[in-house]
Amino acid sequence: MIAHCWGFPLFDPSNGEFLGSVCYLEIMGSFEDLMKAKKLESLRSFETICVSMPHFVWTADQHGRGEWFSSQWLDFTGRPIEELRNQGWTRSIHPEDLPRFMKAFREAHAKAGSYEVETRCRRKDGVYRWMLKRGAPIKDDHGKVLRWVSDLFSYCMNFQPDEKIDWYQYGNSRCSHQ
C-alpha cells in the first residue's frame, strides 16, 4: 500500500510545551494500481500529442515489432492495426526501398541509435508517397532499449494539385508516385 501522511505539532499556547501532534493518513492504493494509472495517463498524453501532429507516429517493442500506430498512420495505409503489428508495417514500404530501409533499421537497432531513411510508402488507394522515416530508441537509465518511437512525414502532403513546386528544392522526383 502507498499512503500519503502529513501532520503538524501541537503546543500549549501558555508555555510552549509540546503536547503531541496530529497526523493524517490517506491511503492512495496499491503500488501496482498507482503504476497502472500513471502509465495509462502517460499513454493518453502521448497518444493525444501524436494525433495532433501531421506526422504518422508508431511505436515498437525493444525488438522493433510494431505495437501502436497513430490514427493518421492507420488512415493513410487503410489497414487495421492487427495487420501492421509485429513486422506487418513493413508491407507498406515500396519493395524497391525495403532492403535499404531494413538495413538502416537493423543498424540502428544493433547500435541502439536512431535512423532516418527516405522511402516510398503505399497509401490505401495503392499510390506510393515519398516519406521521411525516422526512429529512435527510448532507453532506461542503464541504456537498455525499452521501445522505439518512429515517425513518418510525407513530403507531398501539403501540396495542392495546382500548386507550382520548385522540384529542385524538394528533390526532383520526391513527390512522384512511382
Residue 34 has a pLDDT of 62
State mean pLDDT over 97-123. Answer: 91
Residue type, 154: S
Residue type, 121: C
Of residues 126 and 162, which shows the higher confidence score? Answer: 126
Q: Rounded CA gap, 100 and 118, in Å? A: 9
Instruction: Evaluate whether 131 touches 118 at the Cβ level (below 8 Å).
Output: yes
Residue 40 has a pLDDT of 60
Residue 29 has a pLDDT of 67
What is 55-178's CATH superfamily? PAS domain (3.30.450.20)
Domain boundaries, the chain: 1-52, 55-178
Of residues 99 and 173, which shows the higher confidence score? Answer: 99
